[in-house]
Amino acid sequence: MLYRTDKKTGNQLSALGLGCMRFPRNKSETEKLILDAIDGGVNYFDTAYIYPNSEATLGEILAKYNKRKDVYIATKLPLFMGKSAAVYEKIFQEQLRRLQTDYIDYYFMHSITDMAHWQNYLDHGIVAWLNEKRAAGQIKHVGFSYHGTYQEFVKVLDSYDWEFCMIQYNYYDEHYQAGRAGLDAAAAKGIAVMIMEPLLGGALANGLPQRAKDVFHKADASMSPVDWAFHWLWHQPAVTVVLSGMGSSEQLKQNIASASNFTPLADDDFSVYAQVKNIFSESYKIPCTGCNYCLPCPQGINIPGCFSSYNTSYFQGYVRGASLYYTTTGIMKKNPNSPHKCNQCGKCEKHCPQHIPIRQDIKKVAKRFEPLPLKWLLNVVRKVVTK
């Protein structure tokens, strides 16, 4: 396993971290995944208060096998849930109970979008509360996860004595949000940088067009698209931990092998990435990572599913995309969850960390898969099928 030194704390962190947002539904599979990860050298586990049943599951398994001291737990304070020390304390105590621990190693301020957002909590005394928890040894280190522009990222970075941060970063989105400039700014302060969306919600793994996969294969047949994505990140010394939401033991095994076999990239490799990016950009129309923060939609629309279908229709063909779309929306049901049902309320856009113009893009999806003539035909067929 490749390890990186957290300069602020001296901790040796596994360069591959386990993202705990989506554990397998089968509890025994989750148990095996966590234990295999630890056995394979992974020591950084990332969860959050708002990830369904994630903290409790992680805490239960670590306690059951007495593994708490073998790992670093990272979890997050959902700032949007309140603006007082009493609220922070209530959430934090629940997190300790869920995780069955008396301290958190890496505590994130979750999903800060700009300085004004963070300032709101500074004004409500969050620093005093954090200092109290740190003095008591209940929070070892404080950082923030970020979704916003580089300009605002630097302001947030300078506003507090942070020990680490988390940004979205991958070879396709090199200059998106905080991007490479943000990575460099954090590194200049000597703080650890954790990476989310290294595979762009899986798009840089299973979602690559075949032509792009062929480019990677021709350059090095021993490396998978996932290896290429991870190695691009690990090539940069400022990257501390790359998070991967591994949902199976097979994925875990492959990713541990990738981290264990990492070697720095050669100069010629960067032209390979450039070719892949050009091919991928032709089909990646809507930059949705499938994080599901936009859900639930008041109208019941599966927004990430619709966007995934839309992108798929460009890199795997219209028929494949339409098939996914009709499954996602339940188009043959009596009351399908079609994007045509969008009433433009905008609730989804308020929570989208990618700042996607969802109301605008959902119309594109509806137009592509349910143009007016086809919409009429689908209505007729639906009435017959559901009669």
- Domains contained in the chain, CATH given: 3-281 (3.20.20.100), 303-385 (no CATH)
DSSP states along 75-86? EEE-GGG-SSHH
Helix (H/G/I), strand (E/B), else coil: 233: helix
Q: What does the block give as tokens for 11?
A: 């901790």
Q: What is the pLDDT of residue 333?
A: 67
DSSP class of 68: G
Nearest to 124 by CA among 76, 163, 78, 87: 87
Helix (H/G/I), strand (E/B), else coil: 136: coil
Nearest to 200 by CA among 227, 173, 239: 173
**Close Cβ partners of 303 (under 8 Å, ≥ 6 residues apart):** 288, 294, 295, 297, 348, 358, 362
Q: What does the block give as tokens for 165?
A: 């941060």
The span from the CA of 50 to the CA of 68, in Å, is: 21
The span from the CA of 329 to the CA of 313, in Å, is: 15
With tokens 């007495």, the residue in question is: 66
The span from the CA of 325 to the CA of 369, in Å, is: 8
Helices 115-122 and 150-157 cross at an angle (nearest 10°) of 30
The one-digit pLDDT tens for each residue of the chain (387 residues) are 999 999 999 999 999 999 999 899 899 999 999 999 999 999 999 999 999 999 999 999 999 999 999 999 999 999 888 889 999 999 999 999 999 999 999 999 998 988 988 998 999 899 999 999 999 999 999 999 998 889 999 999 999 999 999 999 999 988 888 999 999 999 999 999 999 999 988 889 988 889 999 999 999 999 999 999 999 999 999 999 999 999 889 999 999 999 999 999 999 999 999 999 999 888 788 888 888 889 999 998 989 888 888 888 887 788 888 888 877 887 666 677 888 889 999 999 988 988 899 999 999 998 998 887 666 666 655 555 455
Q: What is the pLDDT of residue 378?
A: 62
Q: What is the pLDDT of residue 228?
A: 98
Q: What is the pLDDT of residue 128?
A: 96
Main-chain dihedrals φ then ψ at residue 161, nearest 5 degrees: -85, 70
Helix (H) or strand (E) holding 168: strand 164-168
Q: What is the pLDDT of residue 148?
A: 84
Q: How far apart are the first and last CA of the chain?
A: 59
Q: What does the block give as tokens for 255?
A: 């990713």
Contact assessment for residue 199 and residue 226, using Cβ atoms and an 8 Å cutoff: yes
The span from the CA of 68 to the CA of 70, in Å, is: 5
Beta bridge partners of 73: 45
Q: What is the pLDDT of residue 292?
A: 83
The span from the CA of 163 to the CA of 108, in Å, is: 10
Size of the chain, expressed as the number of residues it contains: 387
Is the pTM value of this prediction over 0.75? yes
The span from the CA of 216 to the CA of 213, in Å, is: 5
Q: What is the dihedral of CA 132, 134, 137, 142, to 10 degrees?
A: 140
